[in-house]
Amino acid sequence: MRALTFASRNTKEITRELSTSLFGIGFPVVLLILLSAIDKSIPDGYGPDLFNIEKLAPGITVFGLSFLCLFSSMLISKDRTTSFVLRLFTSPLKPSDFILGYTMPLLPLAVLQGIVCYLCALCFGLKVSLNLIVAVVVNIPIAVVFIALGLLFGSILNEKAVGGICGALITNLSAWLSNIWFDTAMVGGAFKAVADCLPFSHAVNAARAAAAGDFRGIFPDLWWVIAYAVVLTVAAIAVFTAKLKKN
Amino acid sequence: MEAVKTVNLTKKYKNITAVNNLNLTINKGELYALLGVNGAGKSTTIKMLSCLTAPSSGDAELMGFSIVTDKEKVKSLINVSPQETAVGAKLTVRENLEFIARIYGADKKEARAKADRIIEDFSMEETAKSKASTLSGGWQRRLSIAMALITEPEILFLDEPTLGLDVLARRELWRIIEQLKGKITIILTTHYLEEAENLADRIGIMAHGVLCAQGTAAELKEKANNNDFEEAFITIAGEAIK
The string of DSSP letters for A133-184 reads HHHHHHTHHHHHHHHHHHHHHHHHS-HHHHIIIIIIIIHHHHHHTTTSSS-H
Task: Indicate yes or no: CB of A17 within 8 angstroms of CB of B53.
Answer: no
Decide: B229 and B223 in contact? Cβ < 8 Å.
no
d(CA A119, CA B18): 59
Task: Indicate yes or no: CB of A247 within 8 angstroms of CB of B47.
Answer: yes
Q: How many CB atoms lie within 10 A of CB B218?
A: 12
Task: Indicate yes or no: CB of B51 within 8 angstroms of CB of A92.
Answer: no
d(CA A164, CA A51): 28
pLDDT at B162 over 70: yes
Task: Indicate yes or no: CB of A87 within 8 angstroms of CB of B90.
Answer: no
- Over residues A13-53, the pLDDT tens digits come to 988 887 777 888 888 899 899 988 888 787 777 667 777 88
Residues 147-176 in B contacting A (C-alpha not used; CB under 8 Å): 147-148
A6 touching B (Cβ < 8 Å): yes
Task: Indicate yes or no: CB of B88 within 8 angstroms of CB of A16.
Answer: no
- SS3 label, residue B209: coil
Find, among B161, B67, B48, B82, the residue nearest to A247 by Cα. B48
d(CA A52, CA A19): 30
d(CA A225, CA A146): 11
- Over residues A89-147, the pLDDT tens digits come to 889 888 888 889 999 999 999 999 999 999 999 998 899 999 999 999 999 999 999 99
The alpha carbon of residue A216 is apart from the nearest alpha carbon of chain B, in Å, by 44
Task: Indicate yes or no: CB of B76 within 8 angstroms of CB of A83.
Answer: no
Q: What is the mean pLDDT of residues B127-154?
A: 92
Chain A positions touching B87 (Cβ under 8 A) are 82, 84
pLDDT at A82 over 90: no
The alpha carbon of residue A180 is apart from the nearest alpha carbon of chain B, in Å, by 35
Q: Residues A21, A27, A32, CA angle at the centre, nearest 5°?
A: 135
A168 touching B (Cβ < 8 Å): no
pLDDT at B91 over 80: yes
Give just the sign of the alpha carbon dihedral A168, A61, A102, A242. negative
Question: What is this model's ipTM?
Answer: 0.83
- The beta-carbon neighbor of A5 closest among B72, B76, B102 is B102
The phi and psi torsions of A135 (rounded to 5 degrees) equal -65, -35
Determine the residue of chain B that is closest to A7 in CA distance. Answer: B99
The string of DSSP letters for B6-32 reads EEEEEEEETTEEEEEEEEEEEETT-EE
- SS3 label, residue B205: strand
d(CA A72, CA A95): 16
pLDDT at A5 over 90: yes
pLDDT at A167 over 80: no
Task: Indicate yes or no: CB of A91 within 8 angstroms of CB of B52.
Answer: no
Find, among B69, B120, B63, B66, the residue nearest to B93 by Cα. B120
A94 touching B (Cβ < 8 Å): no
Residue burial A159-177, b: 16+ Cβ < 10 Å; e: rest: eeebeebbbeebbeebbbb
- Over residues A197-247, the pLDDT tens digits come to 999 999 999 999 999 999 999 999 999 999 999 999 999 988 988 877 666
